[in-house]
Amino acid sequence: MGGVNGHVVTQRRRMTMTGAEATAEAMRQIHPDVVAAYPITPQTDIVMRFARYVSDGVVQTEFVPVESEHSALSAVVGASAAGARAMTATSGPGFALMHEILYVASGYRLPIVMPVANRALSGPINIHGDHSDTMGSRDAGWIQIFSENAQEAYDNLIQAVRIAEDPSVRLPVQVTQDGFIITHGMEIVEVLTDAEVQQFVGTYEPERYLLDVERPMTVGALALQNSYFEVKRQLAEAMVNARRVIADVGEAFGRLSGRYYGLTEPYRMNDAELAVVVLGSTAGTAKVVVDELRNRGVKAGLVKIRVFRPFPAQNLRDLLRGTRAVGVLDRSDSVSGGLGGPVFAETKAALYGLPDPPVMTGYVYGLGGRDTTPEMIESVYEDLAELARRARDNYAEVVADAALAGHYLGVREPGQNGSPHRHGAAKLGER
């Protein structure tokens, strides 16, 4: 493949790249048969780079320029059903425009892989990173993998191909990266060789496909009261199977690259008493805070959710068992009337029934790309320390109150003109 100077990677290289560049590079190395896409900030940089690879003859991918994201995913659904390895990419409002077809892709069990540059949804209009787009489709039957940085955006995309196409899964996969924060942030990324990526993803050999004239079939037949439910039950089972496959592929990728991946990533959780649950780029910021708190003797830890669908409920039960207080960070809001965001709701659900569970509370943060500082995250640990302290005397009441409390982290409250930062009176560990 390739053959154009500078576009064939025969030796592993560490390069400075944005998340968008790293994603386009992974797409070049995956070398899909068909890509259909419509540009939308901040995804544009991914598709623009990939389209250039196509026009320069670096890849032989069939690129389908379409008039909307609804059409982009529709074209990819058609290509995938026809037997092609097919990809698209999108962001925010474009992702929302795909909503109808998301269900078609998963319902037909098409292993489409789609990078998503997370972007806030209008209105008011905003082009920056939050998770409202992907969280809005969390029930659409797609596997959802979140990336912490450009390296993970690259690594996750390559793994996604194998996960999607596994015969026991056959589900579409979204690989997300926070808009601008990752898509446009420059980082060091280790790029595998083209041959390594090609070998890892392998050749796509669909069991059935529309262009197989020897074995004709119908995709998209009407399925009414007597069969639709069974098809959805199969989909649910595939998502259960995906847990094991994602873990296996993450392990195999680790053997290849030295970077191992699971459904969750615990950080300094061994003896942690106060834990934050977070996904996306903010996990990186939170790790810095955990290190700082650990230096001060605070038993702080972090659980990064890498895979939101399938939801890693058992991992969270195992990792958070034994903590005293847990703060769950959501970069989107369920607007549920005070109950916080989706990660909070599902984490609580995952821990339901644990004997002596930690006090849990939720924070919506970073909407519309609002900067989330280490100080803000430290203030969460301060809250958790306070909750754990109060829970000692009055456990039942504190647990119940905290579970129903949706906090907003980094929003300007009355009396905080100009600065949304919240600082505790004294630093944790220095009281």
Partner 1 sequence: MNAPGKAVSSEKQASVTLPWTEMAEGGLVPRGGTAASVKTGAWRTGKMPVIDLSRCIHCLRCWIWCPDSAVILDGEKVTGFDYDHCKGCGICEQVCPPKVHAIQMVPEGVEG
Token duo for residue 186: 């420059």
Question: Among all chains, which residue has been given the structure tokens 């579409």?
Answer: 172
Contacts (CB under 8 A) with partner 1, residues 15-74: none
Sequence-distant (≥ 6) Cβ neighbours of residue 299 within 8 angstroms = 271, 272, 273, 274
Rounded Cα distance between 370 and 68, Å, is: 28
Q: How many CA atoms lie within 13 A of 223 on its CB side?
A: 13
Q: Least distance from C-beta 82 to partner 1, angstroms?
A: 13
373 binds partner 1, rule: CB under 8 A = no
Q: Least distance from C-beta 31 to partner 1, angstroms?
A: 25
CB 32 within 8 A of CB 23: no
**Residue choice 219, 239, 313, 339 for contact with partner 1 (CB under 8 A):** 219
Sequence-distant (≥ 6) Cβ neighbours of residue 30 within 8 angstroms = 85, 87, 113, 157, 158, 161, 197, 201
**Residue choice 13, 52, 208, 321 for contact with partner 1 (CB under 8 A):** 208
Piece of 58-66, 183-191, 229-237, 348-356 that binds partner 1 (CB under 8 A): 229-237
Burial 89-120 (b: 16+ CB within 10 A, else e): bbbbbbbbbbeebbbbbbbbbbbbbbbbbbbb
**Residue choice 221, 396, 425, 426 for contact with partner 1 (CB under 8 A):** 221
Rounded Cα distance between 168 and 241, Å, is: 6
Nearer to partner 1, 223 or 354 (CB): 223
Q: Least distance from C-beta 164 to partner 1, angstroms?
A: 13
Size of the site for partner 1 (CB under 8 A): 28
Q: How many CA atoms lie within 13 A of 23 on its CB side?
A: 37
Nearer to partner 1, 106 or 281 (CB): 106
**Residue choice 215, 352, 353, 415 for contact with partner 1 (CB under 8 A):** 215
**Residue choice 100, 230, 291, 397 for contact with partner 1 (CB under 8 A):** 230
234 binds partner 1, rule: CB under 8 A = yes
Q: Least distance from C-beta 168 to partner 1, angstroms?
A: 5
111 binds partner 1, rule: CB under 8 A = no
207 binds partner 1, rule: CB under 8 A = yes
Nearer to partner 1, 233 or 423 (CB): 233
Nearer to partner 1, 102 or 402 (CB): 102
Rg of the chain's alpha carbons, rounded to an integer?
22
**Phi and psi based region of residue 415 (left: phi greater than 0; alpha: psi -120 to 50; beta: remaining):** left
Piece of 57-65, 209-217, 270-278, 345-353 that binds partner 1 (CB under 8 A): 209-217
Question: Among all chains, which residue has been given the structure tokens 């496959």?
Answer: 245
Q: Least distance from C-beta 33 to partner 1, angstroms?
A: 20
Sequence-distant (≥ 6) Cβ neighbours of residue 286 within 8 angstroms = 267, 276, 278, 302, 329, 377
**Residue choice 15, 231, 288, 354 for contact with partner 1 (CB under 8 A):** 231
251 binds partner 1, rule: CB under 8 A = no
Rounded Cα distance between 326 and 314, Å, is: 16
What is the contact mask toward partner 1 in residues 138 to 177, using x (rule: CB under 8 A)? -----------------------------xx-x-------
Tell me the C-alpha to C-alpha distance, in Å, between residue 76 and each of 48, 208, 410.
Answer: 17, 16, 39
Phi first, then psi: what are they for 149, rounded to 5°? -155, -175
241 binds partner 1, rule: CB under 8 A = yes
Rounded Cα distance between 342 and 133, Å, is: 12
Q: Where are the alpha helices (DSSP H) in 270-394?
A: 282-295, 313-320, 342-351, 374-393
Sequence-distant (≥ 6) Cβ neighbours of residue 18 within 8 angstroms = 45, 150, 182, 183, 184, 185, 186, 187
Piece of 29-37, 108-116, 265-273, 361-369 that binds partner 1 (CB under 8 A): 108-116
314 binds partner 1, rule: CB under 8 A = no
211 binds partner 1, rule: CB under 8 A = no
237 binds partner 1, rule: CB under 8 A = yes
**Residue choice 70, 244, 268, 427 for contact with partner 1 (CB under 8 A):** 244
205 binds partner 1, rule: CB under 8 A = no
Nearer to partner 1, 102 or 328 (CB): 102
What does the binding site for partner 1 look like in residue numbers (CB under 8 A)?
107-110, 167-168, 170, 207-208, 215-221, 223, 226-231, 233-234, 237, 241, 244
